[in-house]
Structure 1
Amino acid sequence: MAPVHFLVIIVLVVAAVTDSVMLKAVDRVDDPEQQNVYLKHQFENKEQTDLFNRAVHEESRANSVTHKVHNGTHTTAHHGHNGTQTTAHHGNNGTHTAGHTTAQHETSAVYRPPAVGFNAILTPDFLTISHKETIVFDHLLVNIGNAYNIRQGHFTAPVSGLYSFTANIKFRSSNTAELNASIVKNGDNIGLLYLYGADTTTRTTVVMLDVGDIVWLKNNVNNSPRIYGGGLSTFSGFLITPAD
């Protein structure tokens, strides 16, 4: 564009000088016919200058339009490319997010187990237990799911799954100074507690239960053992995870 501007400036300067010279020449010529000749030359020079200026202007305008069209096309294509890429990216993220959210929801629904758990204590100062008698823990601190019965001393599974049970016994005395008790599932021993001499014994066991299975704690020997209460002897259990 710089050469065109430079050329226009030169033409304008030449035209101005020519006009000045022609006007001065007209001023110095007394003959009217000669003046007409000078004016005719002046008009022709001006007409040629105008034609030249219009040609330069049209060329400059054409170049500008072409440049704008090129830039516009390039920008549109660039935006279109970016738009397509962004849309695809957003679509991909949207699909991934939707799938992830659905998966999270389904996972949450599958792995939200029912809450089941209890913690029972023995409140009397001590308790003497007969042979094969169930040790009944008479006070509940926790009983979520209402699965432990303080009258019978039984835990009844409300759902099938994997459970954990813990028995803690503070032994006081017996005829043989021996304590032998067990955690029982439907009559079968699943965890043994043994102690000789006054002390505390604890046993934790993990077991699979079906709905309706019963778990309790019982004395296994005929020696009239006595155990401490006052919260020193406890029995607790909870559901780890339901069965598939």
Structure 2
Amino acid sequence: MHLLYTFVLFFGIMIQPTKSKILDPKELIKSISSYKEACSAVGYEKRPCSYRSKNNKMAVAFHAKMTNAQNNLKSSQKVLFEHVFLNIGGGYNAKTGVFTAPVDGIYRFDWTILAAMKKYYITLLVKEDTQIGSNYCADTSDNELGQCSSSAIVEMKANQKVWIKPYNSYAQGVKANWSYFSGHILF
């Protein structure tokens, strides 16, 4: 309640016209019953306050896990990460495996692949059909698995797309439930 009181007092003073009197904070609190109404009162109707960064930029983040092994993929296919843990901004589509930037910005993407025993799984991070990053994951032993991670920093415009795909046809064997794809806006 104290935080709401401070928030309302601060924004109540800021949004008052210069020639009118400043409202008593208790009156302002009575007129705004929740933080959502307070956000709406200062212009945040389209997106929740919790999805805004300190510089008022829309927060964007996703994190997804592969739940079904996708072996022997062709280079034209996309690697799917079907179980979505987080999708703030709604940019990641688990059915297509594609992230679509909801706003312009600099983004960071990370992906981790666990290759099956005696298999390899080479993947690329692709932005609008252009390779941005790569991840070579291979297991050469009989009793271990090869887990590999990669990341990339990418400048994106709103509605540009990024996804993970196999390099040529080098996506032999992967372990489901141990492979992930995530991304978030930096600024």
TM-score of the superposition, structure 2-length normalised?
0.65
More strand by share: 2
* Within-5 A mapping of 1:25-104: none
Name the CA shift for 1:224/1:201 in 2 (closer, same or farther; >3 Å): closer
Higher relative contact order (CA 8 A, sep 6+): 2
Greater share of helix residues, 1 or 2? 1
Q: Secondary structure at the match of 1:212?
A: coil
Superposed, which structure 2 residues align to 1:223-238 within 5 Å?
Answer: 223-230=170-177, 232-238=178-184
In the alignment, structure 1 segments of 5+ residues that lack a partner are 1-100, 103-107
Q: Residue 56 of structure 2: which of 112, 116, 120 is its match?
A: 112
Is the CA contact (8 Å cut-off) linking 1:157 and 1:214 kept in structure 2? yes
> Partner amino acid for 1:157?
A
1:48 counterpart residue number: none
**Aligned-residue RMSD, C-alpha:** 2.2
Structure 2 contact 113–121 (Cα < 8 Å) conserved: no
Aligned residue pairs total 132
| Alignment pair present for 1:203 and 2:150 | yes
2:122 to 180, 203, 211: 180
Secondary structure of residue in 2 paired with 1:127:
coil
**Partner of 2:5 in structure 1?**
none
> Post-superposition shift, 1:235?
0.1
Greater Rg by CA: 1
The answer on 1:164 being equivalent to 2:108 is yes
> Runs ≥4 in structure 1, deviation > 6 angstroms?
none
Matched, 1:131 2:78: no
Match of 1:144 among 71, 88, 92: 88
Q: Which amino acid in structure 2 is aligned with residue 210 of structure 1?
A: K
**8 Å contact from structure 2 (residues 124, 135) kept in 1:** yes
Is 1:215–2:162 an aligned residue pair?
A: yes
